[in-house]
Amino acid sequence: MTAIAEGLTLDATALAELEVGFRGEIVGRDDPSYDEHRKVWNGSIDRRPALIARCAGVADVIASVRFGRKHGLPVAVRSGGHSFPGLSVADDAFVIDLGQLKGVRVDPEARTARVQAGVLLGELDRETQAFGLAAPSGIVTHTGVAGLTLGGGIGWIMRKHGLSVDNLRRVDVVTADGELVQATADENADLFWGIRGGGGNFGIVTEFEFRLNELGPQVLAGPIFWRMTDSPQVLRFYRDWIAEAPDDLMTILIHRKAPPLPFIPAELHGEPVVAVVCCYAGAIEEGERVVKPLREFGHPVLDLCEPKPYLQHQSMFDPSFPHGRLYYMRSCDVAELSDEIIDMTVEHSLRIASPHTAFPIWQMGGAVARADGDGGAFAGRGAGHTFNITAGTDSPDDFEAEREWVRGLWSALEPHHQDTVYVNFLMDEGSDRVRDAYGDESYERLRTLKRKYDPDNLFRLNHNIPPA
């Protein structure tokens, strides 16, 4: 017998069986690269899996699933490693790591992209933008396409082109019994419905095929800043301004202390600010016309909303959310930015202590709300705004206070929470919150689907949907 973790042993031949023909790498606790490969984006997560199977292809994924199942190992699945609560790594688990599956094939004629599971957002955008095309994704380039898409996928062009899942045409999935199946709107349509929001509950997706949309390469985009003390007026103006805005416009509000970045004047560094970050997915001149009233409101201290490559805009938040910092987050949807919500948000934001805490409020609606037909398990289509109350610190000493700040704002907003919450913005908050993320009816439908595709709940280290 070989000990692979505390109290966990495997038949000596078992590992050798997995290793035969494995094109990737099996990393155990004694391997020099173990610490590198068990790390995830959120530095507050420090877990020690038993084994990490760094897959090089679909055959490795199939072999890993069969191995995990045969030996009764808890299976964790990792693509970009950006789960806020660190769901892609667990103590004593068998991690199936897809990070090396980096293939992207864009078909500019058909306007589609086939994307393997280890691809990160920036890598996908780089390939699609070469042809002036884009798949809706998220706002930080080092996030994994896989986990983001499986939860829904909200980002800069969703109000015009829909969520990532709204642009999904096909997935390849390795199911819990180690079979490769394809799901589309016509083939395994039940699975295709569940995959579009239901996370990694039904199997391991090895490849996604997206429909692409024309975009840029230049877009009008970037933040306009005011002092945070002006935020009550700015947010009231913003609320009325976006009510008339076209779907080409997507905005995110950020409250934070201004970071010491080269394009921010030194006198603002560390000062509490509010920013309205815009991205206009249509013609630049049209965007200029739409954004003009915002730029002219009150006394902006910095205006960086200008024509720029979409790729540059996509990476603007990267420096704010680096790997390895300690992060905590809570999220809720609200129907509108009422006076009470605005005042509460500003009052709490003025108490942000950490220079790294930057919290986004997402403008929802547009094409997301209008998705026709059965758009999948993603439930937040009726959200007005998504609060993504995120805190970050460098040191564990400040982390607890900043977490308290997050919880304080989230709780204060509780009377205004809508029924839904975005599953990709959940921490480890218990099964009721997972149910909230889908609503009762979809949750039951997902449980029935889980019984069909994963009755033994092999894939349970996720925002879990237990089999019906």
Beta pairing, strands 112-116 & 204-211: antiparallel
Q: Taking CB under 6 A as the rule, does residue 450 contact ligand FAD? A: no
CA separation for the pair 419, 80 (Å, rounded): 29
User: Measured from the CB of residue 43, what is the shortest distance to ligand FAD in angstroms?
Assistant: 11
- Cβ atoms 360, 257 nearer than 8 A: no
Q: Between residues 252 and 274, which has the closer beta carbon with respect to ligand FAD?
A: 252
Q: Between residues 78 and 450, which has the closer beta carbon with respect to ligand FAD?
A: 78
CA separation for the pair 102, 210 (Å, rounded): 15
Q: Between residues 53 and 346, which has the closer beta carbon with respect to ligand FAD?
A: 53
Q: Between residues 51 and 301, which has the closer beta carbon with respect to ligand FAD?
A: 51
How far lies 195's CA from each of 312, 375, 403, in Å? Answer: 30, 11, 31
The H helix count followed by the E strand count for the chain is: 15, 21
Q: Taking CB under 6 A as the rule, does residue 210 contact ligand FAD? A: no
Residue 132 CA, chain-centre distance (Å), reads 23
Q: Taking CB under 6 A as the rule, does residue 146 contact ligand FAD? A: yes
Q: Taking CB under 6 A as the rule, does residue 465 contact ligand FAD? A: no
> Using CB under 6 A, which of the segments 23-31, 139-147, 256-264, 349-357 binds ligand FAD?
139-147
Pick the binder of ligand FAD from 68, 151, 197, 216 (CB under 6 A). 151
Q: Between residues 112 and 137, which has the closer beta carbon with respect to ligand FAD?
A: 137
Going through 12-164 in order, the beta strands assigned E by DSSP cover: 25-28, 51-54, 75-78, 94-97, 104-107, 112-116, 133-134
List, in order, residues 6 or more apart from 15 with CB less than 8 Å away. 2, 4, 26, 51
Beta pairing, strands 385-393 & 168-174: unpaired
> Using CB under 6 A, which of the segments 74-82, 105-113, 243-251, 264-272 binds ligand FAD?
74-82
User: Measured from the CB of residue 390, what is the shortest distance to ligand FAD in angstroms?
Assistant: 8
User: Measured from the CB of residue 401, what is the shortest distance to ligand FAD in angstroms?
Assistant: 21
Q: Find, among 379, 310, 378, the residue nearest to 126 by Cα.
A: 310
Q: Taking CB under 6 A as the rule, does residue 141 contact ligand FAD? A: no
CA separation for the pair 342, 328 (Å, rounded): 22
Q: Taking CB under 6 A as the rule, does residue 359 contact ligand FAD? A: no
Contact residues toward ligand FAD (CB under 6 A) are: 41, 77-84, 87-88, 98, 117, 138-140, 143-144, 146-148, 150-151, 153-155, 199-200, 204-205, 321, 424, 462
